[in-house]
Amino acid sequence: MVTLSTLQKMKEQQQKIAMLTCYEASLATLLENEGVDILLIGDSLGMTVQGYSSTLPVTLADMCYHTTCVARGSHNALILADLPFGSYQQSKEQAFSAASQVMASGAHMVKLEGGHYMVETTQFLQQRGIPVCAHLGLTPQSVNAFGGYKIQGKNEAAAKQLLADAKAHEEAGAALVLMECVPSSLAKEVTEALTCPTIGIGAGIYCDGQVLVLHDMLGIYAGKSPKFSKNFMLGQSSIGQAIKAYVMAVKNNEFPSLEHSY
């Protein structure tokens, strides 16, 4: 079974970590059988499953339901679940209440979005037995504040802030740091500076692992596919083979390529 210790050892041994989003039991079984290390119950389900235009309408009840479904189908992968918008930003106590419900639904770790202003929350949760993945860079729950889905950390000041935020989250006890839509050179610097593993999505090949939205990498999401995604169904005869191709591409350090990086 994949645990936090497993992930830490993979970083130390320079073995790449493969993560995909997952929202239900049947695919949970298929994904882990094809070698996916981490199943992410992402609030991306708001767009891929529920048909919303963003992740913002997803509720805590939605996340608990889908986490329960994934947990029923998974026996070996590490289960990571997002804390949805509005369920954790108000206070550390609110965050603990939301995280404890998601953990009780079957998650092994929770993911929260935000830099320095969420560091105390990371520490608060970690000290109470809830492992945390800190999500930095483009944080989709703040898409309106960003003015759209744009690359982050492009200038020197922003890059320094992201690096400082990553270090602060690790010092607070974060077990993973996920970076979205940041230059690969910055992601490399962060990965080398941290002891805990890093996961990239649109953050280049130097992260300790990669994640994609399952519907994007299978080419079945009706919306616009992001630059950093790749359709792994092309040339494959089954969903299982596409997932295996993704896992092998990550493990062999073949994905993401330059065309999928910033």
Local confidence band at 142 (pLDDT 50, 70, 90 cut-offs): confident
For residue 256, say if its preceding peptide bond is cis, omega within 30 degrees of 0.
yes
Angle at 121 between CA 189 and CA 139, to 5 degrees: 50
Higher model confidence: residue 179 or residue 139?
179
CA dihedral 4, 258, 139, 14 (to 10 degrees): 10
Q: What does R_g of the chain's alpha carbons equal in angstroms?
A: 17
Query: What is the arithmetic mean of pLDDT over 184-204?
Result: 97
Query: Tokens 């191709």 appear where?
Result: 245
Q: Is the pLDDT of residue 222 over 90?
A: no
pLDDT tens readout for residues 163-192: 999 999 999 999 999 999 999 999 999 999
Query: What is the arithmetic mean of pLDDT over 130-142?
Result: 92
Q: Is the pLDDT of residue 78 over 90?
A: yes
Q: Which domains does the chain have, with CATH numbers?
A: 4-260 (3.20.20.60)
148 and 124 in contact (C-beta within 8 Å)? Answer: no
- 32/247 Cα distance (integer angstroms): 10
Q: What is the pTM of this model?
A: 0.96
**What per-residue confidence (pLDDT) applies to 139?**
87
Q: Is the pLDDT of residue 146 over 90?
A: no
Q: Which of 180, 192, 254, 259 is catalytic?
A: 180
The b/e string for 208-238 (b: 16+ C-beta within 10 A; e otherwise) is bbbbbbbbbbbeebeeeebebbbebbeebee
Angle at 173 between CA 35 and CA 14, to 5 degrees: 40
Query: Tokens 């962060």 appear where?
Result: 190
Q: How far is CA 158 from CA 136, 154, 165, 200, in A?
A: 12, 7, 10, 18
CA dihedral 182, 183, 188, 191 (to 10 degrees): -10
Give me 209's structure tokens. Answer: 């692992």
180 is catalytic: yes
Q: How far is CA 174 from CA 5, 6, 100, 236, 247, in A?
A: 13, 15, 16, 37, 25
Query: What is the arithmetic mean of pLDDT over 56-70?
Result: 98
In this structure, the number of other CB atoms found within 10 A of the CB of residue 3 comes to 11
